[in-house]
Amino acid sequence: MAKVAHSLLERVKGQLLAELGQDVRDERVLAAVASVPREKFVPDELRAFAYENRPLPIGHGQTISQPLIVAMMTEALELKSDEKVLELGTGSGYQAAILAELAGQVITVERILPLAERAAAVLGELGYENVRVCVCGDVLGWPEEAPYDGIVVTAGAPQVPPALLEQLAPGGRLVVPVGARDVQELLLVTKGPLGLTTKRLGPCRFVPLVGPGAWSSADLGFAEG
């Protein structure tokens, strides 16, 4: 029974990879999606949907992002295997695992402790030794380990957070959804020799980034548990 379910998942995963391949050209990113078991990062009862190209709830009002968005954000970072990358919004830990396949070192930060704990446990079980899961401090990101060659924000911000630009290395890339609470535009900001350049990657929809320089929980008025 478990075996049948597994082969079904593998078949849907193949379809997902074919679908992603229409928009994502970087073979390294597609190989990372192929090797990370997304079913381990979703709640047990949603396992059957793990390879559908859509976000899924992971508890505490949060979601694991849509695979296409994860792949697009990762592709935009253009990570090299010796680079250090920061993720804001660990959530399930899935995006962190994809980053860990491509970068030398991954620091991922989460503000909801039980999500951080669960993600760290799954990443540990899967043997990712180059990922460190941190629980948010008083500033956005994780300045202790800065600068980063890449920063990816997997929650929507009202503006490009200045604190994250400060944590970006020269030549570094920041991928961040910016806009209103319910819909944002995905931006790629590059710190080049002549200053910052911004490229628009298209519309997207993320849960809010909460914290200093982003949304406050009072603004949002949402309950989390």
Positions that interact with ligand SAH (CB under 6 A)? 62-65, 88-89, 91-92, 94-95, 109-112, 115, 136, 140, 154-155, 207, 209-211, 214
Spatial CA neighbour of 47 closest among 37, 34, 33, 60: 37
| Nearest distance, CB of residue 149 and ligand SAH, angstroms | 18
Question: What is the C-alpha to C-alpha distance for residues 225 and 218, in angstroms, rounded to an integer?
Answer: 15
Spatial CA neighbour of 101 closest among 134, 127, 122, 139: 127
For ligand SAH, the closer of residues 114 and 192 by Cβ is 114
Distances (CA, A) of 155 to 17, 144, 182: 24, 21, 11
65 is catalytic: yes
Q: What are phi and psi for residue 68, nearest 5 degrees?
A: -60, -40
| Nearest distance, CB of residue 198 and ligand SAH, angstroms | 21
For ligand SAH, the closer of residues 91 and 179 by Cβ is 91
The single residue of 65, 81, 92, 217 carrying the catalytic annotation is: 65
DSSP at 16: H
| Nearest distance, CB of residue 42 and ligand SAH, angstroms | 9
For ligand SAH, the closer of residues 20 and 194 by Cβ is 20
For ligand SAH, the closer of residues 91 and 172 by Cβ is 91
Question: What is the C-alpha to C-alpha distance for residues 121 and 41, in angstroms, rounded to an integer?
Answer: 10
Instruction: Please provide the size of the chain in residues.
Output: 225
| Nearest distance, CB of residue 184 and ligand SAH, angstroms | 12
Which amino acids are annotated catalytic?
Answer: 65
